[in-house]
């Protein structure tokens, strides 16, 4: 696997690949890779000739009091993992390479509405940072396919909407959530958890499953069910962010008529803000 830090050099190589008729897949990441990221690489590899992964801890998507400074940067280990997973090229630019004119005057890409609820309400400006950097990565790599994890359910929806609205010629694929043996969704931020917190963390997924089972059994008092779920999480040490039972089509609050639902959850535990989700299909 070859690593590029320069946009010009990466583009020259990819232009050649494209001229040779190669189909290009992109896996955007912020590094500190785990098995979930490697599954995205394998998925891209299964439908493309060339896989490009990017590692860029994007300052635009972090709020002022968030973990930009402490976000784990593990380039050497990541390179080894990507090589093992079949990645062809790694793009690992500096901040200056991605934002040569500074961040203040950077053109912004925004998906209004969808970016302002749930995670966007807790982290104002976050999705605007994500769509801006992903749009730039699409411009740089010009992938045929781009693969994103379904753990970030709302992010995937926001990116799909951006690609659709801007007629970007890229197929956006979601990849199933990778979990550890206890059901905890894999995340680079799990590294912030102590051993004790790692024991507690799978409660988030269990609470989602219990809420799903309750809905499948007929409960439709969603506000009450959300409140009970918060209380279960708080009882084991999580603090409240959101646990929202939504219409899977547009992420608005689900009502009794809704047949396809998703529960989106974000729950801080110690120094980590864990996110997870679960889909529910009542149409059968």
- Identify the residue among 52, 114, 133, 201 touching ligand PAF (CB under 6 A): 133
* Residue nearer to ligand PAF on the CB measure, 163 or 258: 163
Distance CA 90, CA 93 (A): 10
- Identify the residue among 41, 52, 87, 130 touching ligand PAF (CB under 6 A): 130
> How many residues belong to the chain?
284
- Give the position of tokens 């994103």: 148
Asked if residue 211 binds ligand PAF (CB under 6 A), the reply is no
Asked if residue 163 binds ligand PAF (CB under 6 A), the reply is no
Contacts of 213 by beta carbon, 8 Å cutoff, 6+ apart:
none
Binding mask 50-79 for ligand PAF (x = CB under 6 A): --------x--x------------------
The b/e string for 212-241 (b: 16+ C-beta within 10 A; e otherwise) is bebbeeeeeebeebbebbbebbeebebeeb
- In whole angstroms, the minimum distance from the beta carbon of 29 to ligand PAF comes to 5
- Identify the residue among 29, 115, 128, 154 touching ligand PAF (CB under 6 A): 29
Distance CA 178, CA 41 (A): 13
4 in Cβ contact with 13 (< 8 Å): yes
* Residue nearer to ligand PAF on the CB measure, 130 or 272: 130
- In whole angstroms, the minimum distance from the beta carbon of 133 to ligand PAF comes to 5
Distance CA 16, CA 2 (A): 15
* Residue nearer to ligand PAF on the CB measure, 12 or 166: 166
Q: Work out whether strand 260-269 and strand 242-247 pair parallel, antiparallel, or are unpaired.
A: antiparallel
* Residue nearer to ligand PAF on the CB measure, 160 or 219: 160
- In whole angstroms, the minimum distance from the beta carbon of 134 to ligand PAF comes to 6
- Give the position of tokens 């593990």: 74
Reply yes or no on whether 37 is catalytic: yes
Residue ranges in contact with ligand PAF by CB under 6 A: 28-30, 58, 61, 130, 133-134, 152, 155
Active site residues: 37
């Amino acid at each position: 696997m070859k690593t590029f830090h320069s946009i010009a050099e990466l583009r020259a190589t990819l232009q050649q690949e494209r001229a040779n008729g190669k189909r290009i897949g992109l896996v955007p990441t912020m590094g500190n890779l785990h098995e979930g990221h490697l599954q995205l690489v394998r998925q891209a590899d299964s439908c493309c000739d060339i896989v490009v992964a990017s590692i860029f801890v994007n300052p635009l998507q972090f709020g002022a009091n968030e973990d930009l400074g402490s976000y784990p940067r593990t380039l050497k280990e990541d390179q080894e993992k990507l090589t093992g997973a079949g990645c062809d090229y790694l793009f690992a630019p500096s901040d200056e390479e991605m934002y040569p004119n500074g961040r203040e005057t950077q053109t912004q890409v925004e998906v209004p509405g969808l970016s302002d609820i749930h995670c966007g309400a807790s982290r104002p400006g976050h999705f605007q940072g994500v769509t801006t950097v992903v749009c730039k990565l699409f411009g740089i790599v010009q992938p045929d396919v781009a693969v994103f994890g379904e753990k970030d359910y709302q992010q995937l929806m926001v990116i799909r909407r951006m690609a659709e609205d801007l007629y970007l010629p890229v197929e956006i694929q979601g990849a199933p959530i990778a979990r550890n043996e206890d059901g905890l969704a894999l995340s680079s931020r799990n590294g912030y958890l102590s051993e004790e917190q790692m024991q507690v963390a799978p409660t988030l997924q269990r609470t989602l499953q219990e809420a799903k089972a309750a809905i499948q059994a007929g409960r439709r008092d969603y506000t009450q069910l959300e409140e009970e779920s918060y209380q279960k999480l708080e009882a084991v040490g999580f603090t409240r962010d959101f646990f929202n039972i939504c219409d899977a089509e547009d992420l608005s609050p689900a009502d009794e008529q809704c047949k396809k639902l998703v529960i989106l959850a974000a729950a801080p535990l110690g120094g980590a803000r864990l996110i997870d989700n679960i889909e529910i299909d009542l149409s059968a």
